[in-house]
Amino acid sequence: MGVYPDIVVEAKNLVKSYNGIPAVKGINFVIRARECVGFLGPNGAGKSTTVKMIYCFLPITAGELYVLGLDARRHQRSIKSQVGVVAQEDNLDPELTVKENLLLYASYFDLPGRVAQQRAEELMNFIDLKDKASTPVEELSGGMKRRLAIARALLNNPKLLILDEPTTGLDPEARRLIWEKLCQLKERGVTLLLTTHYMEEAAYLCDRILIMDEGQILAEGSPGELVNKYIGKEVIELAPVQEAQAEKLVAALASKVLGYQLVGETLFLYSNNGRSIWQDISGRHRYLRHQILRPATLEDVFLKLTGRGLTK
């Protein structure tokens, strides 16, 4: 893989505005070599905007951004030649076959013909599309297209692979297949940066997660750290609960509850001692339609940090 700097991406007070309207509002982060980092955030949080600045599609409004040690304001060509990109929206050449797509894309990176052929064969093997080599892209399933997009992004042996929602719209099996491929890339030492709306995906793949909302980074850490820090060990879900009722309930359990969140009519109680709360509640509130006790997950962190409801 050659030598590359330990810090693959560094953003300092990075800002992006569209016609004066800020979409990314001065964020700071670092991505290290061989890490897999995930950006999580609701629609419109600024995830795509951030990664598009990293892969030099969007000009930076303010702040600093270094990719592979190069200034993203000045060395676009050089950065683009060392980065692999899977954009949020499919952009393969639909009229061409799988193999033609790969060979053509290889030419954009000035790969000589022989090398391009070899890379294309290797990558078709890697993504299990060998037997589809002469199938036009138009005839591929959504999952196959996404795998082809990943293969295409690997043609130039990128040091950093950026994937904007790589599994959105795919069925669970197609999604697992992509996870498997990404894990293999991770083992080979490729630095991965992905955005996703799927918590299991982030928890499964990412060493570190950045949660974004409204153009800012709200939290950062490994999936386990985030869950421990913001939620605790367990979560109790109760529904339906009204706001006044929720406040009363929480006040009564104050000593045992670490925090809570009301999303619509569902109350989430966070605790390190869920069992004891559960016993308190389940005796008294049998009329609730929905009550469960379960381990805390990343989704709880996400809802707590980006939710708009009553929270603490």
Ligand X SMILES: Nc1ncnc2c1ncn2[C@@H]1O[C@H](COP(=O)(O)OP(=O)(O)OP(=O)(O)O)[C@@H](O)[C@H]1O
| Chain contacts with ligand X (rule: CB under 6 A) | 18, 23, 41, 43-49, 88
Least distance to other proteins, CB of residue 39, Å: 17
- Does the N-terminal peptide bond of residue 240 adopt cis geometry, omega within 30 degrees of 0? yes
Residues in CB range of 54: below 8 A, 6 or more apart: 9, 65, 67, 72, 83, 162, 193
Which residue lies nearer to other proteins by CB, 85 or 236?
Answer: 85
Which residue lies nearer to other proteins by CB, 156 or 261?
Answer: 156
In degrees rounded to 5, what are phi and psi of residue 198? Answer: -105, 120
Residues in CB range of 210: below 8 A, 6 or more apart: 29, 37, 38, 39, 40, 217, 219, 220
Q: Which of 46, 48, 82, 97 binds Mg ion (CB under 5 A)?
A: 48
Classified as helix, coil or strand, 95 is coil
Q: Which one of Mg ion, ligand X, other proteins, none is in contact with 57 (Cβ closer than 5 to 8 A by kind)?
A: other proteins
Does 107 contact other proteins by CB under 8 A? yes
Q: Which one of ligand X, Mg ion, other proteins, none is in contact with 89 (Cβ closer than 5 to 8 A by kind)?
A: other proteins
CA-CA distance, 194 to 26, in Å (whole number)? 20
CA separation (Å) from 56 to 65, 148, 150, 306?
10, 22, 18, 28
Q: Which one of Mg ion, ligand X, other proteins, none is in contact with 41 (Cβ closer than 5 to 8 A by kind)?
A: ligand X
Which residue lies nearer to other proteins by CB, 16 or 186?
Answer: 16
Q: Which of 56, 257, 262, 296 binds other proteins (CB under 8 A)?
A: 56
Q: Which one of ligand X, Mg ion, other proteins, none is in contact with 43 (Cβ closer than 5 to 8 A by kind)?
A: ligand X
